[in-house]
Amino acid sequence: MPKYLLLKHYRGGPEPHRPFPPMDQWAPGDVEAHIAFQRHVVELLQENGEYVDAQALTPTRTWVRYGGPDAAPVTTDGPLPETSDLIAGWYMIDVDSHERALELAAYVSSEPGPGGETMYEWIDVREVMSGAPPEE
């Protein structure tokens, strides 16, 4: 069974199907509904036997590279341009097919936003390479 990452982004990706303000500016009830939906997705995946992992990332990012012999690692100062991709988190799933992964990603994207309206958020679906030895 292939594994997939369903990635959510803070920014980046295709033009939003429906732009929305940051969540801290939503009506409190809408915030509750949104968080409840995310919890429900995890429960659903667990009940289906398709859940592997779900994690959220903080929006703080540091790029770092080797600084050379005896030198400290080199890091970027300050935030990058607002246009660069920034991953917010993921669901990792173990499913029967690519189609099933797309189906679940679309469901994730149907989460409720401000005013209870569907968000249509773009979800980045990536297949995880198998580590098993290839068959003859």
Partner 1 sequence: MAGRPADPLDEGALRALVPRVLAAMVRRGEQFDAAEDALQEALLEALRSWPEHPPRDPRAWLTTVATRRLLDARRSEAARHRREEEIVEEAARAQPPPTAAAAEDDTLFLLFCCCHPDLSPASQVALTLRAVGGLTTREIADAFYVPEATMAQRISRAKRTLRGRRLDQPGDLAVVLRVLYLVYTAGHAGRVDLAGEAIRLARQLAAATDEPEARGLLALMLLNHARLPARLDAEGRIVTLDRQDRSRWDSREIAEGVSILQSALAQQTEERPPGRYQIEAAIAALHDDAASAEETDWPQILSWYDDLVALTADPARRDPAAVLGRAVAVGHVDGAAVGLRETERLRESIGDRHRWHAVRGHLHELAGDPSAAAAAYAEAARRATNVAERDHLVRQAARQHARADAAPG
Give the interface with partner 1 as residue ranges (CB under 8 A). 22-28, 30-32, 35-36, 39, 56, 58-60
Smaller CB separation from partner 1, 40 or 98: 40
Query: Which tokens belong to 2?
Result: 């292939």
Smaller CB separation from partner 1, 2 or 89: 89
- Residue 57 beta carbon to partner 1: minimum distance, rounded to whole angstroms: 10
Residue 64 · residue 73 · CB < 8 Å: yes
Query: Which tokens belong to 81?
Result: 């341009």
Smaller CB separation from partner 1, 31 or 102: 31
Residue 4, phi then psi, degrees to nearest 5: -130, 150
- Residue 68 beta carbon to partner 1: minimum distance, rounded to whole angstroms: 27
Separation of alpha carbons 9 and 6, rounded Å: 10
- Residue 89 beta carbon to partner 1: minimum distance, rounded to whole angstroms: 9
